[in-house]
Every structure is written in structure tokens, then in C-alpha cells.
Chain A
Amino acid sequence: MRVKDSKGSERLILKGITGYCQPRHMLAIMGPSGCGKSTLLDTLAGRLASSAESDGEIRVNGHNTGSLSYGKSAYVTQDEMLAGTLTVEETLLFAARLRLPVATDKMAIVDSVIQELGLESVRYTYVGNWHLRGISGGQRRRVAIGCELVTSPTLLFLDEPTSGLDSAAAYHVMASVRKLTEGCRTIITVIHQPASETFELFDKLLLLAAGDTVYFGDALKAEDMFAAAQLAVPSSRSAPDHFLHCINRDFQSETHDVERNIARLVATFRDSKIAEATKATVTEFHANPGEVYHVEKTAPSFFTQTGILTWRTLINNWRNVGTSQYLVVVVVVVVPHGTSLYSRSPHPSNPPFVGLFWMRLAMYIVLCLAIGFIYFQLGTSWKDVFSRAALLFFVVAFLTFMAIAGFPAFVDEMKIYLRERLNGYYSPMVFTLSNTFASLPFIWVIACVSTVCVYFIAGLSNDGGDVICGYCELYAHERAITRSLTYANSLIDAHSPSLTPLHCQTSFSISSPASPSSSPS
């Protein structure tokens, strides 16, 4: 159990953890921050940073199945990255369309997911972003979970699905997650600070302290083990609170010798019957492997995916909100706002909003009119020749410069892409192509409108040479280069999946018989 971090020094994150999780069960991984619970989850889901190594075994149904990333299991991250401009229904529908065969009835699947997660009341509400008011935090978590449920995965990893939620919202999220196990799913979740009624939803509990197993077993029997280690839960405190209190070494106090607590708990657990039983169960799983776990590839063809993603990006661009709210007034005069490109039903609860595209278009119009009038009706004198050159330079330089306004939106798209890539939605090429296609109509409109604004007012000549075609070729080359760069970069990003800057090795063994086909349903 050796560990190396990025500087070459060795560090141990997880120390010989053994556990299992069965179908219809929910395993909660708990512990103070920095104890390795997210690392454990990343390792199980095959998302550990490439610099980290683990030398344990992860078995599914008793078989070594290799990495569970890229769509072989569902993984819901802590910071759910959703396109804020889509409604809840659209978000789920697109997730389904991107990943299920064309012939499937996605609407029925989305209906059942919405029902399963209790999202009926916000079905037609926008997810929302920093500008657009949307659904609540707990609902966002459930939508993020729902995106993964459309393919009905049997293995579900959740990274702190309740962080940042109040105890009631956390309970509702976990209760709907709990209900999912009824569909013969195996759920492994990292959680901190569960309220006692949330805690009661868990079947199994894995309690970690600095990489050591403090407890693994039935969640409700953890209290007994703490009592055996002379750390019985006081009546004034809820059980999960007490567990964390005993093993959090960040805040030492005189009344609590945390190091001694941890040592005693680890020792007590190691010698307990529960630990023995766990080892026996795992050995039994290894001895009697079930069916090999595999996930059928259900994704539609490359072209279908590209089309669907292009459509989604189009909608997103259309509705995405611009960076400057003060200029909204200008835009409202110019264009009708809040136009819905795609909807099955009206969105009664949503305010009208102005898209980033409209904002940019308005700015182009303003700028081009300004150029036009500054260089009003140029003549043919030598001074005007200079002015023409200056005007053309301005058009080249500053109209393209304004593309920077789209940058924040690109960054958001990249984050969404990263999440979806790691969950095996589509390939980097699909992303690159659909982004290109989705931007073309908007750029075309901007180019036409800008030209009309500047061309006649400034009185540009109409009898110049017809030379553009040759240059278009050069553009195509330049464009191909930048696009391939994007493609390469998205590949690089996708292959260093761990978003946490954690470089370590881990060692543990968890077997997780998860296939519904091998167990009665």
C-alpha cells in the first residue's frame, strides 16, 4: 500500500478498505473532509487522476471488469453542470436522445424519470443559471441524477448529492435516491452531515478516518460498535453527528482525544465480528461470481448524436443570456425577446429573456452604424483612400474582437461537455462538430446585418475585384487548424478526469455485485 504524490513523496490516502454493496442497497461513505471518501468514490468509478495508482481490486459480480468510467456506470458529480437555459423536461429529453437508440420512446422514459424523482411540478421550468431564475438546489441535484437515470443504469455513484442543501431538501433528495434502489439498482454515495432521518435511509455505512476503515457494515449497527469502543452515542446527539465528531481530527479538543478515538475505533472494528463477516462475504462473492457485468452500447449513430447536440447547442445559444443587463433595453427595441425555439408545452412560469446572441447582434448593429456614420459617404480623394483602408481594418479587427463576448458561454459549455464526456454521452468529435454547426447560422446573420449597416452608409465601392473565393480556402485551413486544436484539447481534458488536484495511490478492494439479472427482482 504505497502512495506517491505529484512531488514524488509517498502518501497514503486509503488503507486497505474492504467492502461490498449489493443490488437494492445504498452504501453511504462518510467521514470528515480529507479522509479520502471522494478518492474512494473516484477510484470505484474509474475516475482517479492518471497520476494516482491504486493496487486494490474492484470486482463487479465477482469479475474484474476494468474501469467503470465513460458510461459503464452513472456518476453524478458534486457541482452539477447543467445547461441553465433548458427546461427540466428538455434537459432530460436531450440526455435520453443523446444516449438511447432512435427508436426508443424517450418521452415515456423521461416521464417515468420525472415521476421517480418527484420533479413533476418543475417540469416546464428552466433549470436556471446565474441570471435566469430557475429551480431550487435540491431540484437541480435531482435533475442531474435524472440525466443519468434515463439509460436506467444499475450502478450509480453519487458524490455528495446533498452538499449545500438544508436538511429537509437533503432528505427529499436522498429519499428519492433511496426509492431508486427499488428498481434493483446499486447506489454508492458519498455524503457528509446527514440528518438522522436521512441516515436511516442507508443500508450500509462505510466510515473513514484518514484512510482507515472505522466502520463498514449495516448502517444501523454502527452505534453498537461505537458503544463497544466506549464511545456510545449520547442521547443529546444524533448518531451520524456523533460518528463524525469522534473522528474529525481537524479540530482537537481537550475533552476529545481524537487520535486515540480513531485508533481505538479502528482496532475495535478490525477485531469485530462485523469485519470478519465482511471478509467472508467478499470471499464468497469472489468464489461464486455472477454474470459478467456489462453495459450495452445504446447510443445512436455518430450523425444522429451530432444532429441532436447541434440542436441543443442552438437552443442554448439562442436563449443564453448576455453579459450586460444594462443594454437589454437596446435589444428589446431591436428584436422580439424570449422566443422559444423548441417546446412541447408553454412555459407559463418563466419570464421573457434576451439571448446572448441577440445582445451580440445589437452590439454589432450599433457598432456598424457608428462606423458607417463616422466614415459617411467616402469619396475618392487620397484622404478617403486612407479612410477606406482604416474602415476595412476596423471591420476586420473589432468586429471579430467582439467574439470574446462569447467566451464565458464557451467555458460553461466546456464544463457541461466534460461531465457528459465522462459519463459516456458522446465523443469529442461530436462535441466539436455540433458546436461548429450550431454557431454558423448566428454568425451568418451577424455578418449580413453588419454588412448592410456599414456598406451603404459609408459608401463602399461595389466594383472591386472578385477575389474572395481564393481567400475562403485560406480560411478553411485556418479554421480546420483551430478546430482540430479544440478537438485535441477536449481529448486531453477528457483523459484527466479527476477534477480534484489529488495525486495519490490508493489501495482497497470492494466487490459490488450489481447486475439485476443475477438477482431476483
Chain B
Amino acid sequence: MPDFILDLFASLTVVESLMMAIAPIVPNFLMGIAAGAGLLGVYMIVCGFFQPLGSMPQPIFRYPLSYISFHTYAFTGFMRNEFENTDGWGSPTGNGTVTGDEVLNYYGGLN
């Protein structure tokens, strides 16, 4: 749980900084909110949840967007915190179990 808090704390500090960085560029606050929301939307889509990192188109999205997006790091952190070195997860075929590392592998090299 401390890891969880740290990860969330770090994400929030980054996003606050990001908002502070947008504020001088787009001083009108309605425009700023629109710009911020759009940027965060792009960050979300490349973070590896909707489309596993490995299956993402490599130009633009995998490189460099998924590396610029702080969501990628935060999501990876949460996932590893949850699944790394664990075992006994239900298998998609219904027989036997899979390890946490296999889950992480599915999401495209999160480990």
C-alpha cells in the first residue's frame, strides 16, 4: 500500500506541474482547461491499457508518445505493484492458473 500511495502522489504532482506549465501558455482558463483535457486524453490512450504497448503503432504512438506520457509510468508502476512475483491467477482457458508475470507480459512488457 505505501507503494500505491507513492505512485498516486507522484502522478498527482506531475499532473499539477503539467497544469502549471499549461497556465502561462494558454492564459485563458476555459482554453486552458480544453488544452489540458486534450493533452491528458492523448496521454491516457498511449499508456498501455487500451492497447498493450507492444501492439501500438510504433511511429508516433509507441515512440515517443508513450514515453512522454506520465500515465505509462504510473500505470506500469501500479500493475507491477499488483501482479509482479504473484501466482494463482485464473487462466483465460479456465484450466489451471497463470502467474502475475504472465499477466504483465500480456500488457506488453510492463515488467
* Interchain CB contact under 8 A, B77 and A485: no
Restricting to B61-103, which residues have a CB under 8 Å from any CB of A?
A: 70-71, 73-86, 88-92, 94, 98, 100, 103
Does A326 count as interface, using CB distance less than 8 angstroms? no
Does A43 count as interface, using CB distance less than 8 angstroms? no
A403 to B32, CA, bound (A): 12
* Interchain CB contact under 8 A, B1 and A475: no
* Interchain CB contact under 8 A, A443 and B13: yes
* Interchain CB contact under 8 A, B81 and A410: no
Q: What bracket does the count of chain B residues touching chain A fall in?
A: 35 or more
Which residue of A385, A443, A471 is within 8 Å of B89 (Cβ)?
A385
- Supposing A385-B103, A392-B75 touch, asked if A411 and B29 sit within 8 A by C-beta, the answer is yes
Segment of A81-89, A394-402, A509-517 engaged in the interface with chain B: A394-402
**Contact indicator per residue, chain A 487-501, by CB within 8 Å of chain B (1) or not (0):** 001101100000000
Which residue of B14, B90, B100 is within 8 Å of A384 (Cβ)?
B90
Contacts of B89 in A (CB 8 A): 380, 382, 385
- Supposing A389-B49, A467-B77 touch, asked if A482 and B14 sit within 8 A by C-beta, the answer is yes
Contacts of B56 in A (CB 8 A): none
Does A348 count as interface, using CB distance less than 8 angstroms? no
Segment of A210-218, A260-268, A327-335, A457-465 engaged in the interface with chain B: A457-465
Nearest A residue to B83 via CB reads A464
* Interchain CB contact under 8 A, B90 and A404: no
* Interchain CB contact under 8 A, A396 and B78: yes
* Interchain CB contact under 8 A, B12 and A451: no
Which residue of B24, B82, B84 is within 8 Å of A460 (Cβ)?
B82
Restricting to A413-428, which residues have a CB under 8 Å from any CB of B?
A: 413-414
B46 to chain A, nearest CB (A): 11
Does A390 count as interface, using CB distance less than 8 angstroms? yes
Which residue of A383, A388, A447 is within 8 Å of B9 (Cβ)?
A447
Contacts of A408 in B (CB 8 A): 29, 33
Interface of B is mostly: helix
* Interchain CB contact under 8 A, A382 and B40: no
Restricting to A431-466, which residues have a CB under 8 Å from any CB of B?
A: 435-436, 439-440, 443-444, 446-448, 450-451, 455, 460-466
A38 to chain B, nearest CB (A): 20
* Interchain CB contact under 8 A, A447 and B16: no
A84 to chain B, nearest CB (A): 15
A403 to B1, CA, bound (A): 22
Contacts of A475 in B (CB 8 A): 10-11, 13-14, 70, 73
* Interchain CB contact under 8 A, A392 and B82: yes
Which residue of A448, A450, A489 is within 8 Å of B24 (Cβ)?
A489
* Interchain CB contact under 8 A, B77 and A468: yes
Contacts of A486 in B (CB 8 A): 17, 20-21, 23-24
Which residue of A399, A436, A460, A492 is within 8 Å of B11 (Cβ)?
A399
A451 to B24, CA, bound (A): 32
Does A270 count as interface, using CB distance less than 8 angstroms? no
B interface residues with partner A (beta carbon < 8 Å): 1, 3-25, 27-29, 32-33, 36-37, 40, 44, 47, 49, 70-71, 73-86, 88-92, 94, 98, 100, 103, 107
Closest 6 CB pairs between A and B? Answer: A465-B84, A489-B24, A381-B90, A447-B9, A482-B17, A393-B49
